[in-house]
Every structure is written in structure tokens, then in C-alpha cells.
Copies of this chain bind each other. A is one copy, B any other.
Amino acid sequence: MSIHSFDLQNDNEEICCDEPSTHPEQIARAKLDLPTDVEVQRLTEIFKALADPTRLRIIAALMHTELCVDDLSTLLGMSQSAVSHQLRLLRHLQLVQFRKEGKHSFYHLNDDHVRDFFQRSRDHLNCPSK
């Protein structure tokens, strides 16, 4: 938790003499940019949301249009209940919103950040050199 020396001169993986069972310089280097607990929680929360096929496909489906629950249910071939449960989760994470119109709830992405983030991720993982 507390700070060690910022001695980073030993830049390569070579060990000079007898290491004390770990590698403090490298640990110190790694520690410099470690995300805080809060950041870790936010990141994993978002990644967790996209780590499930149903939720990921919901986000993907909402990229270019809004859809009601039944539309999503039809499109994804999942039960209304399953979709609704996942939508609630995405709502609470503020990844989607909805507006009511009569009997229908029309869901759409929360904002362009969500859209951008998903599109970037998709592009990145689809890029040919990977």
C-alpha cells in the first residue's frame, strides 16, 4: 500500500544480483497505473453487462433503432421474461433507457457513449490483424 522507491533504472528483465523472492521494481512500476477500486468496479460492471450473449445482442440490436420488448424477444428468440429481466439490468447500469407508448415500452441506448464504446469494441475485435 505504501510507496517503494521509484527506481526504474533496471528497465529490462535481467536480474542483477539476488532478488528477495519477488521483483519490487516491476511491482512498483505496475503499481503506478493500477486502477483504483472504484475504477475497477465501474469497468467490471460494464464488461459484465456485455459478457452475456443475451445482453450483448440486446445492445447490438439497439444500435440503429429503438425496439419494444416483444420486438427484442422475437428478434433474439428469447422469452419475453428473459429479455425483460436483462433489460432491467441494462437499465440499472444506465446502458439503455425506455419510453412508454401505450402498451409498449420502447427501449433505446442510453447515449452515444454506449453506442461508441460498443462499436469501438466490435471494430477492434473484428480487425483483421487480430
Chain B residue nearest to A39 in the complex (CB): B126
Alpha-carbon gap, A64 to B8, bound state (A): 12
Do residues B53 and A51 form an inter-chain contact, with CB atoms below 8 A? no
Number of interface residues of A (CB under 8 A): 55
CB-defined contacts of A51 to chain B, threshold 8 Å: 44, 47-48, 50-51
- Known A-B contacts A13-B101, A43-B122; the reply to A60 vs B48 at CB < 8 A is no
Alpha-carbon gap, A63 to B29, bound state (A): 10
A3 at the interface (CB under 8 A from B): no
Chain B residue nearest to A70 in the complex (CB): B22
Alpha-carbon gap, A29 to B65, bound state (A): 7
Chain B residue nearest to A127 in the complex (CB): B113
Alpha-carbon gap, A70 to B20, bound state (A): 11
Chain B residue nearest to A11 in the complex (CB): B65
Binding site for B on A (CB under 8 A): 13, 21-23, 26-27, 29-35, 39-44, 46-48, 50-53, 56-57, 60-68, 70-71, 74-75, 101, 106, 113, 116-117, 120-122, 124-127, 129-130
Q: List 14 A-B contacts (CB under 8 A).
A: A13-B101, A13-B106, A22-B68, A26-B67, A26-B71, A30-B61, A33-B63, A35-B57, A39-B122, A40-B56, A43-B50, A47-B51, A113-B129, A117-B124
